[in-house]
Chain A
Amino acid sequence: MKTRNNMSRKKLLTSALLILPAAVLIGVYYVYPMLMTIYYAFTDLTLTGSAATQTNFVGLKNFKSILTDPKFPEILKNTLVFLVFSGIIGQQCFGFAIAKLMKKRKAGIRKFTGFMVVLGWITPEIIAAYMFSAFFNDKGTLNMFVKLLGFKKVSWIFEYPMLSIVLANIWKGSAYSMLMFQAALDGIPDDVIESAKIDGASKFNILKSIELPMIKGTTSTTFIMVTLGTLGTFGMIYAFTGGGPGVKTTTLSVYMYKQAFSAFQVGYGMAIALLLLAIGAFLSFVYLRLIKANQD
């Protein structure tokens, strides 16, 4: 009994020592700033002037400012449009469609299309932003094709700024759900689908009643990951359109940055950051519940 106790105590000590470096790193440079976000969201912190050294507690003022900010409804709308079209419809549904189309196809085409889609995923966001500023430019590749087809050139970035960043983000991020769905679809045993076919089930019925239910876990995981990734997208939008023209492509992430570093309202920026963290925390929580449910 005593030795067992010693054993588990030794194990506990070793565990603690092994976890310590990671715990310190995460604690100081990740959890601590997260707590700072919560604190500063209730202050009038600025980068310059007296409030930079002496910050005051202002209660819910920053959150009231969010509600009364005339620009805020449009920014929220932009965030949702970007999320739904580039994240959920774009990356997730499109990623699934590619994976579904690829199933049972020859290795050559899987390699070619797969590689091209993955290329977007491994390309640094700053390069993606640069490529697409050229692609959608008035004198860019897209307008070259538009003219080849006999239409008049379009000023994509000014007339359709949201469409431009949505398409750029689909290019950048579809690989994740494609790979996840490929793995999930390949995991469905062939004989399940074969026997359904013999029973005369249509392709649509197989998709609806066999494939989709069997990959439910993957679908919810990618849904949450894609949502979080899209909400957090900053560099590509900022470097591509700068949030403009006007605020037409300003999402919550970009607005938070602008409030802090262009308008110097860091406290207000922190309140937006807290809002983003809260949305993230909620989705993460749902995600964990799903994983726990799968474990049991």
Chain B
Amino acid sequence: MKMHTRKRIGSALSYAVLILIGVAFAIPALWLFLAAFDPEATLAIKLPETWSLENFKFILQKDGMLQGFLNSLIIAVCTTLIIDVVSVMAAYPLSRYKSKAASNVSLGLLFLTSLPASAMMLSTYKLLIKFRQIDNLFGVIMIMSAAGTPYAIWMMKNFMDTVSIDLEEAAWVDGATKSQAIRKVLLPLMLPGFITVTTYNFINAWGNFYTPFLMLMSAEKFPASVNIYRLYDVHGLVMYGQVAAYAVIYIIPIFVLYHFSQDNMSQGFSMGGATKG
């Protein structure tokens, strides 16, 4: 009896703590959401007296704000596509032709993955000046693609490893070429992994702030992340509601993507940082 009660108290306590953590994590984000719909938003969290889309209208009419989303989209889509193509290609031999060399390349990639990314910002800046790609979306895309590729290859390779080569071989026997076998057999089977890597890279590229912040100078090239920084850096914390509205639009695509690939994501997550090789 006593044991039983104690267990129930313990269980109730952990529910309480979990709810508390959840609520504490929700509050800063909830402020952003509520402020976006509140024409009289303040810095403290409150329910809007009247819900309105006024903030959204105002901020989207401002110069360069819509363009910012377009730029974010260009950067994120190009970066994601480049990473997808080169990482699937490179992962194939690493997964299929097992050798000492292949496993060393894989470990080398993992090594590159684990360097603190921001330590590279000065030299990549200098590199783009050298290549005359500074203030240029192409330069930003290339730097972000290169930074994301090692991890993407590593994840793609792990997902490929889970698909047996027998299936591809069966397709060859049936007269399929190698590239047909990859496209028609291997890729569909590793689709969850492919979606995971793509989603992961899209979220990263869409959310990246410091690369475009450093490498771009002209306002018409700024992605949404740099616009948000400039909105509250230049105007101070004044246009709370309007900036919040812009931020809410900015985060929606990530929400949608995450929602649809959630199950794949958590699976890919534990695989990407897997302790197994």
Q: Which residues of A contact B (CB under 8 A)?
A: 11, 14-15, 18-19, 21-23, 25-26, 28-34, 36-37, 40, 45, 98, 101-102, 105, 109, 112-113, 116-120, 122-127, 129-135, 137, 139-141, 143-144, 171, 176, 179-180, 183, 217-218, 220-222, 224-225, 228-229, 231-235, 238-239, 253, 256-257, 260-261, 266, 269-270, 273-274, 276-277, 279-281, 283-285, 287-288, 290-292, 294-295
- 12 A-B contacts (beta carbon < 8 Å): A19-B90, A25-B82, A29-B147, A40-B126, A101-B17, A109-B18, A119-B26, A231-B116, A238-B210, A257-B118, A270-B122, A273-B120
State whether A30 touches B32 (Cβ < 8 A).
no
B247 — which chain A residues lie within 8 A by C-beta?
Answer: 127, 130
User: A80 vs B227: C-alpha distance in the bound complex, in angstroms?
Assistant: 31
Among residues of B, the one whose C-beta sits closest to the C-beta of A17 is B89
Chain B 12-54 against A: per-residue CB contact (8 Å), 1 yes, 0 no?
0011011101110111110110010000001111000000000
**Per a CB cutoff under 8 Å, which of B32, B85, B123, B225 touches A40?**
B123
Quick check: is B240 within 8 A (CB to CB) of the other chain?
yes
User: A30 vs B114: C-alpha distance in the bound complex, in angstroms?
Assistant: 13
State whether A26 touches B115 (Cβ < 8 A).
no
Quick check: is B275 within 8 A (CB to CB) of the other chain?
yes
Contacts A130-B244, A179-B270 given; 8 further ones with Cβ under 8 A?
Answer: A15-B97, A30-B120, A141-B31, A235-B118, A256-B121, A273-B123, A281-B111, A284-B111
Q: Which residues of B contact A (CB under 8 A)?
A: 14-15, 17-19, 21-23, 25-29, 31-32, 35, 42-45, 82, 85-87, 89-90, 92-94, 97, 102, 105, 107, 110-127, 142-143, 145-147, 149-150, 153, 203, 206-210, 213-214, 225, 228-229, 232-233, 237, 240, 243-244, 247, 250-251, 254-255, 258, 266, 269-270, 273-277
Among residues of A, the one whose C-beta sits closest to the C-beta of B102 is A15
> Knowing A28-B146, A29-B143, A113-B18 touch, does A34 contact B277 (C-beta < 8 A)?
no
State whether A294 touches B115 (Cβ < 8 A).
no
User: A89 vs B123: C-alpha distance in the bound complex, in angstroms?
Assistant: 32
State whether B275 touches A217 (Cβ < 8 A).
yes
B148 to chain A, nearest CB (A): 10
State whether A280 touches B112 (Cβ < 8 A).
no
Among residues of A, the one whose C-beta sits closest to the C-beta of B139 is A29
User: A113 vs B115: C-alpha distance in the bound complex, in angstroms?
Assistant: 31
State whether B127 touches A36 (Cβ < 8 A).
yes
Among residues of B, the one whose C-beta sits closest to the C-beta of A168 is B28
State whether B21 touches A119 (Cβ < 8 A).
no
Name the residue among A29, A144, A217, A277 with the largest chain B CB count within 10 angstroms: A29
> Knowing A134-B237, A180-B270, A273-B123 touch, does A126 contact B275 (C-beta < 8 A)?
no
Among residues of B, the one whose C-beta sits closest to the C-beta of A216 is B275
A226 to chain B, nearest CB (A): 11
B87 — which chain A residues lie within 8 A by C-beta?
Answer: 22
Among residues of A, the one whose C-beta sits closest to the C-beta of B21 is A113
B183 to chain A, nearest CB (A): 14
B243 — which chain A residues lie within 8 A by C-beta?
Answer: 130
Among residues of A, the one whose C-beta sits closest to the C-beta of B153 is A22
B93 — which chain A residues lie within 8 A by C-beta?
Answer: 11, 14-15, 18-19
A279 — which chain B residues lie within 8 A by C-beta?
Answer: 116
A101 — which chain B residues lie within 8 A by C-beta?
Answer: 14, 17-18
User: A17 vs B77: C-alpha distance in the bound complex, in angstroms?
Assistant: 25
Name the residue among A127, A137, A144, A274 with the largest chain B CB count within 10 angstroms: A127
State whether B18 touches A131 (Cβ < 8 A).
no
State whether A26 touches B112 (Cβ < 8 A).
yes
User: A127 vs B255: C-alpha distance in the bound complex, in angstroms?
Assistant: 14
**Per a CB cutoff under 8 Å, which of A11, A135, A274, A280 touches B28?**
A135
A129 — which chain B residues lie within 8 A by C-beta?
Answer: 229
B26 — which chain A residues lie within 8 A by C-beta?
Answer: 116, 119
State whether A139 touches B142 (Cβ < 8 A).
no
User: A281 vs B93: C-alpha distance in the bound complex, in angstroms?
Assistant: 26
> Knowing A19-B89, A131-B28, A257-B121 touch, does A225 contact B114 (C-beta < 8 A)?
yes
Name the residue among A113, A257, A274 with the largest chain B CB count within 10 angstroms: A113
Which 7 A-B pairs rank lowest in CB-CB distance, beginning with the nearest? A124-B207, A232-B116, A29-B146, A15-B93, A217-B275, A33-B123, A276-B119
A283 — which chain B residues lie within 8 A by C-beta?
Answer: 114
